């Protein structure tokens, strides 16, 4: 009964109702969109690296070690001696290790020296391995594998030759132009920092620095690629290394053992805990976005309440007719509440449909351009809780026009009796 009367009442004011409906739909879309993308971004961030039990580097802060080893941001305070790395990697509790050597770049993208173990053991997301969109892992000394973003942004193809630069930066005048690398593989997009780097062998990284000292190329000491000797290409040090253990039970024992290593000061961190700490540092921005979306929703619901309130005076005749045919003040009150509820529910349905369609059509765009992988929109307990709050807020704000109509109908009833 209430729904039927409220529905026909809304149809009589379709243009103002349509504007209120669009306002509620847009604000709900913004709130649900921010919440869904926030949740997905957090999941994507937390899954930047998986399957790695420990990350080991020179003694520094845990976040700094995480940033330069996983996100290729910042620099290490010191390197790890190759002998120390080999000793720790030979521990019986260690299943595999991935050495990392940083320091060079190519047109603003980091170059990472590593081994074949990187492509075999590194995982991201839900324990997803790295795969090749084209080509294969490095096999020769001057082979290079590039990430998906590097290939796309710089328009590189297999078998292209590139020159690495010494140090970091978008532009560099210290080039390893005497030893170019050939692209032999392009990794499939992962939506992680893996896409934004180039990967060479540790021996290749050493080879391009043989005629360098203190970051400067030594004149007259160029060495041809074919003249390089294998024993000269053993690294003297690495930047960090990732560790996979045979048993998760040994994680804290190995971590403590590395943190108390006698030969040099080292730090071992659990990547999952470090990622959580890093995300918590970004919680201010996250909460700011949520606050803005909540304020947008509140303003639209307040506009809905204002629209209903302004229509009460115009509906005096309608209210008088309903009172004349026997409608009680409570009935009038419930009709106004139902009108607000219908507008809010319609806006929610439109927002959910628009958000689901928007995510479906922009998934590829977000993944390719921003490295954010967003899954399909689905209802969960958190989303249902938000929708419940929206509906409850609608009913609370609709009390203002509902009580106004209730008082008006009550006065009309008293006037009719006198």
Measured on CA atoms in the order 5, 8, 18, 386, is the torsion positive or negative? positive
Low-confidence ranges of the chain (pLDDT < 50): 413-414, 416-418
Task: Give pLDDT, residue 414.
Answer: 46
Judging by DSSP bridges, how do beta strands 109-114 and 197-201 pair with one another? parallel
Q: What is the pLDDT of residue 238?
A: 94
Spell out a b/e string for 99-115, using b for 16 or more CB atoms within 10 Å of the CB, else e. Answer: bbbbbbbbbebbbbbbb
Going by DSSP bridges, is the β-strand pair 143-146/181-187 parallel, antiparallel, or unpaired? parallel
DSSP-derived letter for residue 175 is B
Rounded distance, CA 259 to CA 55, Å? Answer: 11
CB atoms within 10 A of CB 209: 18
What are residue 180's phi and psi, to 5 degrees? -70, 155
Q: b vs e for 38-50, b when ≥16 Cβ sit within 10 Å of the residue's Cβ?
A: bebbeebebbbbb
Give the C-alpha separation, 302 to 398, whole Å. Answer: 9
Give the integer Cα–Cα distance in Å for 379 and 172.
Answer: 50
Rounded to whole angstroms, the maximal C-alpha distance in the chain is 114
Neighbours of 92 (CB within 10 A): 6
Q: What is the pTM of this model?
A: 0.72
Sorted by sequence, the CB contacts under 8 Å of residue 43 that are 6+ apart come out as none
Question: So what's the pLDDT on residue 418?
Answer: 43
DSSP string, 220-266: T----GGG--GGGGS-SEESEEEEEES-GGGHHHHHHHHHT-SSS-E
Q: Which residues contact 227 (CB under 8 A, 6 or more apart)?
A: none
CA dist 279 and 300 (Å) reads 31
Nearest to 307 by CA among 340, 335, 333: 340
Cβ pair 174, 105 in contact under 8 A: no
Which of 280, 397, 294 is CA-nearest to residue 32?
Answer: 294
Number of residues assigned to the chain: 418
């Amino acid at each position: 009964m209430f729904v039927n009367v409220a529905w026909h009442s809304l149809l009589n004011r379709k243009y103002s109702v349509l504007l209120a409906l669009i306002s509620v739909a847009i604000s709900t879309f913004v709130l649900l969109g921010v919440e869904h993308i926030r949740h997905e971004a957090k999941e994507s961030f937390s899954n930047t690296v998986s399957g790695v039990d420990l990350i080991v580097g020179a003694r520094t802060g845990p976040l700094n070690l995480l940033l330069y080893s996983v996100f290729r941001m910042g620099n290490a305070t010191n390197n790890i001696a190759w002998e120390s790395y080999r000793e720790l990697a030979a521990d019986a509790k260690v299943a595999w290790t991935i050495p990392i050597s940083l320091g060079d770049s190519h047109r603003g993208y980091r170059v990472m020296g590593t081994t074949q173990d990187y492509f075999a053991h590194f995982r991201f997301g839900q324990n997803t391995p790295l795969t090749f969109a084209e080509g294969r892992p490095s096999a020769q000394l001057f082979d290079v594998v590039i990430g998906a973003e590097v290939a796309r942004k710089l328009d590189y193809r297999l078998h292209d030759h590139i020159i690495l630069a010494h140090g970091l930066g978008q532009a560099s005048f210290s080039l390893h132009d005497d030893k170019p690398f050939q692209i032999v593989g392009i990794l499939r997009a992962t939506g992680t920092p893996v896409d934004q780097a180039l990967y060479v062998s540790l021996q290749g990284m050493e080879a391009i620095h043989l005629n360098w000292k203190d970051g400067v190329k030594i004149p007259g000491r160029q060495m041809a690629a074919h003249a390089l000797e294998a024993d000269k290409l053993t690294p003297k040090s690495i930047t960090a290394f990732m560790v996979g253990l045979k048993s998760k039970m040994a994680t804290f024992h190995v971590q403590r053992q590395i943190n108390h290593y006698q030969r040099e000061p080292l730090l071992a961190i659990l990547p999952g805990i470090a990622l959580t700490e890093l995300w918590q540092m970004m919680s201010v921005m996250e909460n700011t976005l949520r606050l803005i979306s909540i304020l947008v929703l509140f303003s639209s619901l307040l506009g809905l309440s204002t629209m209903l309130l302004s229509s009460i005076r115009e509906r005096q005749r309608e209210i008088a007719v309903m009172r004349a045919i026997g409608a009680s003040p409570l009935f009038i009150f419930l009709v106004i509440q139902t009108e607000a509820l219908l507008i809010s529910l319609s806006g929610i349905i439109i927002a959910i449909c628009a958000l689901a369609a928007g995510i479906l059509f922009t998934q590829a765009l977000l993944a390719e351009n921003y490295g954010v992988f967003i899954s399909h929109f689905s209802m969960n307990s958190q989303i249902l809780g938000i929708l419940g709050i929206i509906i409850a807020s609608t009913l609370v704000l609709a009390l203002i026009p509902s009580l106004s109509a209730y008082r008006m109908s009550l006065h009309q009833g008293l006037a009719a009796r006198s």
